[in-house]
């Protein structure tokens, strides 16, 4: 069912951007969804379609209707989930490595969304037909904690928390070599690779701010176990930032050159590294505020068996 609305712009709101004004009206819509509806002519100023960045004047009449969430096209599948927490508003899962978060071209089943749709009959549809409830992502071969929204108000709250960078994340990674300092900060901007569109690069025509803090947790044979605290959430951010330091993640098929294996003199270590099936990156901790109560929530996912085994092996060497 559609929700119609009419707002009159007050003197206090004069000069605000159209999309920013709508964000402040408690429509339970994300910023990207508001922009999408403005561009589609759903939201009007004085019965006229204007751009999202248009500046408002006192007395302007804002009208429109919020369309009901579309029927979800992704289908639920009976896929086992490691549920860390669930209530009427959110579900927190320890994602297995190899699981894609949402359907995309070439991957239409077996995703986290398919599993959630089967498990949660009330999953939020506000984020579209292929990404219901999804407010952040983990790469396919990255394991660990991920939260999804079960209703539209929870979705809006979590999106705002991620956008305002109040969500705290802690990752664990096994990287090549040893670092010269016990901790550090990477602030190199990231964007699409100028030639290889599927890759992210520090050399890009469209740089976006990216901030990653790291700390050495343990020195291993030829490798290091790192704690990583990303402040921003750019695509492949941790993988690219660590690669830019000359310390790519073990098993990363995109940002770790194969010649790194040649630097490992121990044949048994080299063999184990060569056979590791994915990037050794794990989302260990996630902290956010509950979307209804505002209470701080914290969740932990233990190191998965494949990473635990390789760390134990390298520790023993």
Is 192 strand, coil or helix? strand
Pairing mode, strands 223-230 and 168-176: antiparallel
Structure tokens at 181: 């300092």
| Catalytic residue selected from 19, 139, 152, 252 | 139
d(CA 243, CA 257): 9
Q: Do the beta carbons of residue 179 and residue 153 sit within 8 Å? A: no
- CA 183 – CA 117 distance, rounded (Å): 41
Q: Is 146 helix (H, G, I), strand (E, B) or coil?
A: strand
- Alpha-carbon torsion, ordered 74, 156, 23, 209, to 10 deg: -90
How many angstroms separate the CA atoms of 180 and 42, rounded? 55
Known catalytic membership, residue 309: no
C-alpha dist (Å) from residue 175 to 170, 240, 260, 303: 16, 12, 11, 15
Residues annotated as catalytic (active site), given as ranges: 139
């Amino acid at each position: 069912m559609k929700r119609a609305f009419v707002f009159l712009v007050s003197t206090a709101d004069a000069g605000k951007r159209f999309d920013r004004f709508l964000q402040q009206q408690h429509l339970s819509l994300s910023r990207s969804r508001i922009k999408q509806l403005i561009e589609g002519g759903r939201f009007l100023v004085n019965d006229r379609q204007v751009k999202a960045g248009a500046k408002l004047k006192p007395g302007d009449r804002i009208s429109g209707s919020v369309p009901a969430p579309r029927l979800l096209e992704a289908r639920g599948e009976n896929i086992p989930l490691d549920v860390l927490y669930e209530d009427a508003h959110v579900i927190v899962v320890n994602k297995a490595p190899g699981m894609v978060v949402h359907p995309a071209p070439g991957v239409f089943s077996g995703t986290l969304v398919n599993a959630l749709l089967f498990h949660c009959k009330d999953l939020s549809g506000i984020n579209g037909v292929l990404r219901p409830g999804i407010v952040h992502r983990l790469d396919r071969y990255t394991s660990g904690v991920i939260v999804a929204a079960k209703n539209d108000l929870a979705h809006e709250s979590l999106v705002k928390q991620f956008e305002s960078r109040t969500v705290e994340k802690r990752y664990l990674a096994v990287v090549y070599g040893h670092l010269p300092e016990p901790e550090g900060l990477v602030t190199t901007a990231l964007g699409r690779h100028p030639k290889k569109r599927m890759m992210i690069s520090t050399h890009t025509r469209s740089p976006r701010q990216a901030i990653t803090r790291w700390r050495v947790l343990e020195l291993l044979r030829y490798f290091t176990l790192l704690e990583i605290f990303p402040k921003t959430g750019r695509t492949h951010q941790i993988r690219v930032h660590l690669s830019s330091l000359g310390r790519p993640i073990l098993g990363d098929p995109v940002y770790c050159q194969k010649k790194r294996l040649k630097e490992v003199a121990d044949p048994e270590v080299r063999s184990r590294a060569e056979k590791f099936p994915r990037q050794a990156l794990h989302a260990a901790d996630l902290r956010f505020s509950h979307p209804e109560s505002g209470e701080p929530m914290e969740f932990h996912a233990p190191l998965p068996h494949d990473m635990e085994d390789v760390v134990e092996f390298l520790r023993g060497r």
